[in-house]
Chain A
C-alpha cells in the first residue's frame, strides 16, 4: 500500500540528511562510525515517532534518531566534537548518546546490549502509566549475540511490553562476519520468545516502513513486542579510517550497487512523488544545513577543564 506523500518525502529527507551528516563527520574524524548503505533502515525506523516514544538507537544511526526526535543538529555535532554547548556539555558524546529529555536512551556505559533493557524499562513505564507510547530498541547483528538481547526480548514478551526490537543487521560486527556471530536467523529467534519476527530487506525503505507500521500498531494496542531483522550492509568500514583488510572488495562493490538512497530516489521519481530536480535541491539544502551546523559547532567553546565537578555526579538528593 502506498504511503501518503508527506511520509514518503519525510523519509527521503531523513535519508538524505543522514548521508550528508555522515559525510561531513566522517571527513572530519576518521573514527566516525559511518552509516553508508544503512540509511533506509534508520529513516524508516525513526521517522514519525511521537514525543513520548522512547528510543534506544544503535550507535550507527543514533544521530538520525536524535534528529528525528527533534534534537538540534548543531548541538549534536558539538557532542561529537566534545564542546561545552553539546547536550551533555562535553562530558559524554551526545551524538551517539542523545538528549534524554527527548526520549533518547544513550550508550552511557559503552557496552552494547544493556540499552535494550533500558528501552524495555521505558516500555514498562508507559504500560504502568496507561500510556500508548512505545519504545524502540535498535541494535546490530553483533549485539544480537549478547545475553542482554535475549533477556530483553524474553522479558518484553513475558510482560507484553510495547516495544519494537529492530536488528540493524549489516552483516558485520567490526570485523566478525555474520556467519561468525550468528548461528541461524535473528528474526527466527522471535518465535522462541513468543513474538512476531520478520526479516525485511533493509535497503528497501518502504518494506521497512511497512514492517514498522504493523509493529507500532501492535505495540500501541498493547499486544506486545515485535522483532524486525533489517537485512542491510555496512558499505564503509567500521569507522572511516578502517583499513578493512578483513573483507572482500567485490562484496562491498556488489552492495554499493544496491544503494538504498539511489533506489528510493528511483521509486520517488517513478511514482511521481518527487522530481529529480526537487530531490537535488533538497539534498543541496541539507548539505548546506549540515555544513552550517558543523561550522557553528566547530566554533563553539570547549569545556572549561577546571570544571571537573563531582557535585553533578549525584542528582539533587530526594523527591520532596
Chain B
C-alpha cells in the first residue's frame, strides 16, 4: 500500500499496465520529456521511451484516429487529450470507435482510453465539462473517479477494457491530497455506482468534485438531523442502476449533481430513468443541481458561483425533506 495523489495514482496505473502488457502505449501532445499536461505522464517517458510514450503533433482528431486504428490491430493505446474542451475535435473518431463492435457483428473491438483533464480547479482554465456529449454515443464508456484509489483502479480497468473509454480527470482533485492505493486490488470496473455513505432521508448522487461536495453536505445535514445517503457515480456510462434504485427506494428523495450544464446533461437521463422505474418510491420531486446553461466563466467569483456548492446541495436536500415533513 502507498499513499498517492490522484495524478500520481493515474500515472502509477499506467506504469503498472505498461509493465504488464507490451501492447499498452501512450499517445498525446507533450507527454514525453515535458511529462504531460499537469504531470499526467510524469516519469513514463524515462522508463518506457519514445516508442511507447509518443509525442504527437497538434492533430487531436488524428491522434484519436491513430488510437482507433492501432486498437483495431490489437494494441491498447491510451490518448492524453489534454483537456475536455478538445473532445469536440475527436467526436467523429469516438463515434466510430463506439460503433465498431456492434457494426462489425461483434468481430471488432476497440480497446482504447481517451484521457481528459477537466473541471473548475486551481488551474483556472480548460474547465468545461463536455462528457455529456459522449453519453450519447453507443459503445463508449465514461469513467469519472473521485479519489486516488479509484483513479488507480479505474485507470487500470480502463486500459484493460476492450471498449473505448473516456477517462475523466478532475483538475480540482488532481493534486489535492493523497489516498491509499492498493496495487494488488482488483481493477474493478463492474462496480459502477457505489454507495459511499449510508443514509435514510435523501440520496445525493454525483461524481468527482460533486461527490466530494455531496459528502461534505451530508456531514452538514447530519448536524441538522437529516441523514443523507451518498452515491458515487464512478462510471457515468454504462450506469449501474441497482444501488441507485435501492437507495431511492429507501430514502424516497434524490438530488442529482452535475458540473455540466443542465441542458443535455447526462444526469437528465438518470432523472428520466428514476421517473420511469422508481416513481412509486419517490416522496418528492427529483431535484437536479447543475451548472447554469452558460459557458464556464473566467473570473474566480463567477467560476465559483457556477458550480453547485456544498451549501446549495445541503439546501436542496433540506427543502426536499421539509416539503415532506
Q: A residues bordering B, Cβ < 8 Å?
A: 54, 86-89, 91-92, 97, 99-101, 105-106, 108-109, 111, 113-126, 128-129, 135, 147-148, 151-152, 154-155, 158-159, 310, 312-319
Which residue of the partner chain A has the closest CB to B21?
A319
Q: In the complex, which of the residues A97, A120, A315 has the most CB atoms of chain B within 10 Å of its own CB atom?
A: A315
Whether A100 pairs with B92 at a CB distance below 8 angstroms is: no
CB distance from B310 to the nearest CB of A (A): 35
Contacts of B73 in A (CB 8 A): 54, 121-122, 125-126
Known: A101-B107, A317-B161, A319-B160. A121 touches B70 (CB 8 A): yes
Beyond A313-B139, A318-B157, A319-B76, whether A125 also contacts B69 by CB under 8 A is yes
Contact of B59 among A87, A99, A111, A154 (CB under 8 A): A154
Pair count A-B, CB < 8 A: 162
Q: What is the CA–CA distance of A154 and B62 in the complex, to the nearest angstrom?
A: 10
Interface residues in B44-81 by Cβ distance below 8 A to A read: 51-52, 54, 56-57, 59, 61-77
Complex Cα distance, B99 from A226, in Å, reads 30
- CB neighbors of A among B79-113 (8 A): 92-93, 95-96, 98-111
A87 contact from B92, B105, B163, B187, Cβ within 8 A: B105
Q: Within the complex, what minimum Cβ distance (angstroms) separates A315 from chain B?
A: 4
Which residues of the other chain, B, contact A118 by a CB distance below 8 angstroms?
A: 65-66, 68-69, 72, 96
B70 touches A125 (CB 8 A): yes
Contact across chains for A117 and B69 when beta carbons are under 8 A apart: yes
Q: How far is the CB of A309 from chain B (nearest CB, A)?
A: 9
Interface string of B230-252 (1 = CB under 8 A from A): 00000000100000000000000
Q: Is the CB of A152 within 8 A of B162?
A: no
- Are A148 and B162 within 8 A (Cβ)? no
A91 touches B105 (CB 8 A): yes
Q: Contact between A108 and B103 (Cβ–Cβ < 8 Å)?
A: yes
Knowing A121-B67, A124-B66, A154-B59, the reply to whether A318 touches B161 (Cβ < 8 A) is yes
| Interface footprint category on B | 35 or more
Given A128-B51, A147-B61, A313-B138 in contact, is the A88-B103 Cβ separation under 8 Å?
A: yes
Chain B residues, Cβ within 8 Å of A155: 56-57, 59, 62-63, 66
Smallest CB gap from B25: residue in A: A128
Residues of A within 8 A of B67 (CB): 121
CB-CB under 8 A from B68, the residues of chain A are 114, 117-118, 121
**CB atoms of A314 and B59 under 8 A apart:** no
List 28 contacting pairs A-B, 8 Å CB cutoff, sorted by A. A88-B104, A101-B107, A108-B96, A109-B92, A109-B99, A114-B68, A114-B93, A117-B62, A117-B68, A118-B68, A120-B66, A125-B69, A125-B70, A125-B75, A128-B25, A128-B70, A148-B65, A151-B57, A151-B59, A151-B62, A151-B65, A152-B62, A154-B59, A155-B63, A314-B163, A315-B101, A316-B109, A317-B189
Q: Across the two chains, which residue of chain B brings its CB closest to A87?
A: B105
Given A88-B104, A100-B104, A108-B103: A315 in contact with B92 (beta carbons within 8 A):
no
Q: What residue in chain A is nearest B71 (Cβ atoms)?
A: A121
Q: Which residues of chain B come closer than 8 Å to A119, judged between CB atoms? A: 69
- A153 CB, min distance to chain B CBs, angstroms: 9
A125 to B111: give the CA distance in the assembly, Å: 13
A158 vs B56: C-alpha distance in the bound complex, in angstroms?
9
Q: Which residues of chain B have C-beta atoms less than 8 A from A151's C-beta? A: 57, 59, 61-62, 65
CB distance from B161 to the nearest CB of A (A): 5
Q: How far is the CA of A313 from the CA of B162 in the complex (A)?
A: 12
Chain B residues whose CB sits within 8 angstroms of the CB of A123 once the complex forms: 69
Give the distance to chain B from A107, nearest Cβ to Cβ, in Å: 9
Q: Is the CB of B66 within 8 A of A319?
A: no
Q: A54-B73, A125-B70, A318-B189 are in contact. Are A116 and B105 (CB under 8 A)?
A: no
Tell me which residues across on chain A come within 8 A of B93, comparing CB atoms: 114, 117
Chain A residues whose C-beta falls within 8 Å of the C-beta of B105 in the assembled complex: 86-89, 91, 312
Q: A109-B92, A317-B161 are in contact. Are A100 and B99 (CB under 8 A)?
A: no
A100-B104, A316-B162 given; 7 more Cβ-contact pairs under 8 Å: A87-B107, A89-B105, A101-B108, A109-B99, A118-B69, A155-B56, A312-B105
**A315/B62 in contact, CB under 8 A:** no
Complex A-B, nearest 9 residue pairs according to Cβ-Cβ distance, in ascending order: A117-B65, A121-B69, A315-B109, A118-B69, A125-B73, A151-B62, A92-B103, A315-B162, A121-B66
